[in-house]
């Protein structure tokens, strides 16, 4: 899609971001999660895809806890949403690429995602178990993935990566 602008969220975008997340998922849980994380997680990266003045996509990255290492900043990608009528046009991919750059610029060494194993590997994500990482959730190995945004950032680090407490409240 031409003329899609990726930019940081602004306070005036909050209602549209909520609507995008509510429309993109079967329930409003992700929309509520984004609202809760915005209030309680820091630092966070929240980017929107805007077309003709309308928010059509959103991506959120929040800090993760990796008790095994206090030196590596790990960010979690969740959620990423695009309005159903705008899906399969590259908007999600553009949001992910911009978000990964923003994570690196913020000083993150790695990003994790709990997502579709056929989608995220095209951005370089691999099962987090390759780095000795696992999630607190009982999910198949191939859906919890990690990407070093700084090469070697996860070398010699292993353990359980924990999501912000807001994830367990929805």
Q: What are 98-140's pLDDT values in tens digits?
A: 999 999 999 999 999 999 999 999 999 999 999 999 999 999 9
Is residue 169 predicted with pLDDT exceeding 90?
no
How many whole angstroms separate alpha carbon 110 and alpha carbon 165? 20
How buried is 71 (Cβ within 10 angstroms: 0-12 exposed, 13-18 middle, 19+ buried)?
Answer: exposed
The domains of the chain are located at 4-169
CA within 13 Å, CB half, 80: 23
pLDDT mean over 63-89: 90
Tell which wins on pLDDT, 69 or 92: 92
For residues 6 and 49, the answer to whether their CB atoms sit within 8 Å is: yes
pLDDT of residue 141: 94
Task: Quote the pLDDT of residue 160.
Answer: 93
pLDDT computed for residue 166 by the predictor: 83
Q: Quick count: other Cβ atoms within 10 Å of Cβ 7?
A: 12
Helix (H) or strand (E) holding 162, with range, is none
pLDDT at 144: 97
Q: Give the CATH fold of the 4-169 domain.
A: Aminopeptidase (3.40.630)
Question: Whose CA is closest to 72, among 164, 147, 167, 166?
Answer: 147
95 with 119: CB under 8 angstroms? no
């Amino acid at each position: 899609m031409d003329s899609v602008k990726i930019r940081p969220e602004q306070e005036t975008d909050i209602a549209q971001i909520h609507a995008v997340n509510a429309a993109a998922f079967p329930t409003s849980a992700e929309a509520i999660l984004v609202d809760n994380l915005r209030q309680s997680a820091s630092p966070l990266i929240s980017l929107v895809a805007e077309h003709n003045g309308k928010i059509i996509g959103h991506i959120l990255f929040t800090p993760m806890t990796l008790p095994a290492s206090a030196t590596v900043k790990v960010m979690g990608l969740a959620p990423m949403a695009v309005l159903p009528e705008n899906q399969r046009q590259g908007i999600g991919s553009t949001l992910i690429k911009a978000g990964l750059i923003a994570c690196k610029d913020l000083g993150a060494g790695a990003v994790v995602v709990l997502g579709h194993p056929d989608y995220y590997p095209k951005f370089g994500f691999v099962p987090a178990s390759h780095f000795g990482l696992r999630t607190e959730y009982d999910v198949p190995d191939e859906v919890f993935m990690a990407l070093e945004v700084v090469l070697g950032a996860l070398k010699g680090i292993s353990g359980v990566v924990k999501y912000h407490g807001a994830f367990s409240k929805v």
